[in-house]
Structure 1
Amino acid sequence: MPYAPAEGARLYYEEAGTGHPILFIHEFGADHREWEDQMRFFSREYRCIAYSARGYPPSEVPSDPKLYGQDFAVADAVAVLKHLGIEKAHIVGLSMGGFATLLFGIRHPGMATALVPAGAGSGSPKQEQAAFRAACQERGEKLIAQGWKSEMAEETGHSPTRIQLKKKDPRGWAAYMERLAQHSGLGTGLTMKHYQGERDSIFDWEAELRQMQVPTLLVVGDEDWPCIETNVWLKSVLPNAGLWMQPRTGHAINLEEPAAFNREVAAFFATVEKGRWRLG
Structure 2
Amino acid sequence: MFVTARDGTRLHVEEAGSGTAILLIHEFGGNHLSWEPQMNHFARSHRVITYAARGYPPSDVPDDIDRYSQRIAAEDAVDVLAGLGIERAHVVGLSMGGFAALHVGLIAPERCLSLTVAGAGYGCEKETEDYFRGVSRTVADSFEAQGSETFAKIYALGASRVQFQAKDPRGWQAFADRLATHSARGAALTMRGVQARRPSYYDLEAELSAMTVPTLVMVGDEDDHCLKPGLFLKRVLPASGLAILPKTGHTLNLEEPLLFNLLLAGFLAQVEAGRWGLRDPRANPAQIMRTD
Q: TM-score range by the shorter chain?
A: over 0.9
Give the number of the structure whose alpha-carbon radius of gyration is greater. Answer: 2
Q: Tell me if the contact between 1:141 and 1:193 (Cα under 8 Å) persists in the aligned partners.
A: no
SS of the residue 2:248 aligns to: coil
CA distance in 1 between counterparts of 2:163 and 2:262 reads: 20
What pairs up with 1:1-280 in 2 under 5 angstroms? 2-6=1-5, 7-150=7-150, 152-278=151-277, 280=280
CA distance in 1 between counterparts of 2:141 and 2:166 reads: 30
CA distance in 2 between counterparts of 1:226 and 1:154 reads: 22
CA distance in 2 between counterparts of 1:188 and 1:249 reads: 25
> How far did 1:39 drift?
0.3
Q: Deviations over 1:144-193 (max 9, x none)?
A: 2322122x212222111000111111110111111011000000100001
SS of the residue 2:149 aligns to: coil
> How far did 1:142 drift?
2.0
Give the partner amino acid of 1:158: L
Q: Tell me if the contact between 1:114 and 1:215 (Cα under 8 Å) persists in the aligned partners.
A: yes
SS of the residue 1:271 aligns to: helix
Task: Provide TM-score, normalisation by structure 2.
Answer: 0.94
SS of the residue 2:197 aligns to: coil
Q: Tell me if the contact between 1:222 and 1:245 (Cα under 8 Å) persists in the aligned partners.
A: yes
Q: Aligned-pair RMSD on alpha carbons?
A: 0.9
Q: Deviations over 1:246-267 (max 9, x none)?
A: 0000000100000000000000
Q: Deviations over 1:174-220 (max 9, x none)?
A: 11111011000000100001100111111111001111100000000
Moved over 4 A (4+): none
CA distance in 1 between counterparts of 2:183 and 2:116 reads: 27
CA distance in 2 between counterparts of 1:163 and 1:8 reads: 38
Q: Tell me if the contact between 1:215 and 1:277 (Cα under 8 Å) persists in the aligned partners.
A: yes
SS of the residue 1:72 aligns to: helix
CA distance in 2 between counterparts of 1:149 and 1:254 reads: 23
CA distance in 1 between counterparts of 2:192 and 2:198 reads: 9
Q: Tell me if the contact between 1:22 and 1:92 (Cα under 8 Å) persists in the aligned partners.
A: yes
Identity %: 50
Q: Deviations over 1:94-139 (max 9, x none)?
A: 0000011111111111000000000011111111111111111121
CA distance in 1 between counterparts of 2:80 and 2:19 reads: 17
Q: Deviations over 1:8-49 (max 9, x none)?
A: 410001000000000000000010000000000000000000
Q: Which moved more, 1:133-142 or 1:187-196?
A: 133-142
Instruction: Name the counterpart of 2:287.
Output: none
CA distance in 2 between counterparts of 1:119 and 1:262 reads: 15
Give the partner amino acid of 2:227: I
CA distance in 1 between counterparts of 2:99 and 2:8 reads: 21
CA distance in 2 between counterparts of 1:91 and 1:147 reads: 32
SS of the residue 1:41 aligns to: helix
CA distance in 2 between counterparts of 1:164 and 1:265 reads: 21
